[in-house]
Amino acid sequence: GENVEQHPSTLSVQEGDSAVIKCTYSDSASNYFPWYKQELGKRPQLIIDIRSNVGEKKDQRIAVTLNKTAKHFSLHITETQPEDSAVYFCAARTPGGGGFKTIFGAGTRLFVKA
Amino acid sequence: DTAVSQTPKYLVTQMGNDKSIKCEQNLGHDTMYWYKQDSKKFLKIMFSYNNKELIINETVPNRFSPKSPDKAHLNLHINSLELGDSAVYFCASSQDQYSGANVLTFGAGSRLTVL
């Protein structure tokens, strides 16, 4: 089955700096890669996603890149702000068990210091 | 108007008891899920239902029994609760499981504490 690995587990940056979170996946049949942000005590919410036929996608300060050959995808946050502090999850949508399922990485706790 | 709502938000109970968590979505989505988030924040899929039919069962113990009376509702019943069941349980829904962008909308979570 699909395995999604995420690094680093914790990331601390200064306000205004960039943050990069990297993920790898194992199942070449995975075709959709969302990123979710979870603030303390809240529900995970989608911030950006990318399909397997696209190499890069950008939305204001956040961007995601996908390397299908290497089975890597990354989240880039530029000009970080204190409100970016949260746990970020990468995920991969993969076929399995008669349907599709979204498998999450272990999460990266991002701290943005003012 | 809450899109995915689950109740209760908090649940504290003794080992061996039985408890239920309810989930409802008003988005018109076909697919609903239960995810478990443990103390290390790891989000693990438990079940997936598409139009009331069980699609995914991720080798969850038989003590966990989901029920979907219609496509807008997915409930989770847990028998004989164990300490290791303590976690936050998230319900989620998506338009369906076949569309290219399978965006999950999560409920607020139900924090279960087993003493």
Percent of chain B surpassing pLDDT 70: 98
Compute the average pLDDT of residues A87-112: 92
Which chain B residues have a beta carbon less than 8 Å from that of A34?
101-104
Flag whether pLDDT at A1 surpasses 90.
no
Contacts of A92 (CB under 8 A, 6+ apart): A2, A4, A23, A25, A27, A30, A32, A33, A102, A103
How much is the pLDDT for B33? 95
Flag whether pLDDT at B1 surpasses 70.
no
Flag whether pLDDT at B2 surpasses 90.
no
pLDDT tens, position by position, B16-26 = 999 999 999 99
The answer to whether A40 contacts chain B (CB < 8 Å) is: no
Mean pLDDT (chain A, rounded): 95
Interface test with B, best of A46, A89, A101, A110 (most B CBs within 10 A): A101
> A104 and B43 in contact by Cβ < 8 A?
yes
Average the pLDDT over each of A21-25, A51-55, A85-89 and give the range with the smallest value.
A51-55
How much is the pLDDT for A99? 81
Give A62→chain B minimum CA distance, Å: 18
> What is the chain A residue with the closest CA to B49?
A99
- Smallest Cβ–Cβ distance between B97 and the set A34, A38, A99 belongs to A99
How much is the pLDDT for A96? 77
Cis? peptide before B66, omega within 30° of 0: no
The answer to whether A99 contacts chain B (CB < 8 Å) is: yes
Compute the average pLDDT of residues B59-78: 94
Flag whether pLDDT at A60 surpasses 70.
yes
Q: Read off φ and ψ for residue A112, nearest 5 degrees.
A: -110, 115
Torsion A9-B41-A84-A72 (CA) sign:
positive
- Measure the N-to-C terminal CA separation of chain A; round to a whole number of Å: 41
pLDDT band at B102 (very low <50, low <70, confident <90, very high): confident
Compute the average pLDDT of residues A28-52: 95
User: Is-contact B4 B23, C-beta < 8 A?
Assistant: yes
